[in-house]
Amino acid sequence: MAEHEIIIEVKNLKKYYPVRAKRANIFSRSKSKQAGILKAVDGITFIIERGKALGMAGESGCGKSTIGRMLLKLIEATDGEYFFNNVDVTNIKTKEDIKKFRKSAQLMFQNPYEAINPRFTIYRALLEPLLNHNIGNTKDERISIIKEILEKVNLKPVEMYMEKYPHQMSGGQLQRVVLARALIINPIFLVADEPVSMLDVSIRAGVLNLMKDINRKMNLTTLYISHDLSLIQYMCDETVIIYLGNIVEKGTTKNVLANPLHPYTKALIAAMPSMNPGEKAKELKINNSIAGPINLPQGCIFQRRCPYVSEKCKEKAPEMRKIEDNHFAACYRITLTENLRGPLEKRA
Q: What CA–CA distance (Å, rounded) separates 300 from 245?
A: 13
SS3 329: strand
Predicted pLDDT at 3: 63
Strand partners, 238: 54, 252
pLDDT at 283: 65
pLDDT at 33: 62
Strands 238-243 and 79-84: unpaired
Q: Indicate if the pLDDT at residue 185 is higher than 90.
A: yes
Instruction: Give the tens place of pLDDT for each residue, 213-268.
Output: 999 999 999 999 998 899 999 999 999 999 999 999 999 999 999 999 999 999 99
Beta bridge partners of 20: 34
Contacts 24+ apart (CB under 8 A), 85-92: 85/7, 85/188, 86/6
Cβ atoms of residues 222 and 190 within 8 Å: yes
Instruction: Give the model confidence (pLDDT) of 201-210 as tens digits.
Output: 878 888 899 9
Q: Encode pLDDT of 145-158 as tens digits.
A: 999 999 999 999 99
Maximum Cα–Cα distance for the chain, whole Å?
A: 69
What are the residues whose beta carbons fall under 8 Å from the beta carbon of 125, sequence distance 6 or more? 116, 117, 166, 177, 181
Chain centre distance of CA 229: 12
- Find how far residue 154's CA is from the centre of its chain: 25
User: In this structure, what DSSP letter does residue 168 have?
Assistant: G
The count of residues in the chain is 348
Minimal CA–CA distance to 255: which of 239, 236, 266? 239
Return the number of other C-beta atoms located less than 10 Å from residue 343's C-beta. 19
- Is 229 within 8 Å of 167 (Cβ atoms)? no
Q: What single-letter amino acid sits at 150? A: L
Q: Could you report the per-residue pLDDT of 95-152, keeping only the tens digit for each?
A: 889 999 999 999 998 888 888 999 999 999 999 999 999 999 999 999 999 999 999 9
Indicate if the pLDDT at residue 51 is higher than 80: yes
Sheet strand arrangement including 105-108: 105-108, 189-193, 221-225, 53-57, 238-243, 246-252, 327-329, 321-324
pLDDT one-digit tens code per residue, 271-297: 877 666 666 666 667 777 666 777 777
Beta bridge partners of 324: 327
pLDDT of residue 123: 96
User: CA-to-CA distance for 243 and 42, rounded, in angstroms?
Assistant: 10
Q: Considering the entire predicted model, what is its pTM?
A: 0.88
Identify the CA nearest to 167 among candidates 130, 126, 117: 117
Q: What are phi and psi of 107, to 5 degrees?
A: -120, 135
End-to-end CA, the chain: 35
Half-sphere exposure in the Cβ direction for 112 (13 Å, CA): 27
- What pLDDT is attached to residue 118? 93
Angle between helices 201-218 and 171-183 (to 10 degrees): 20
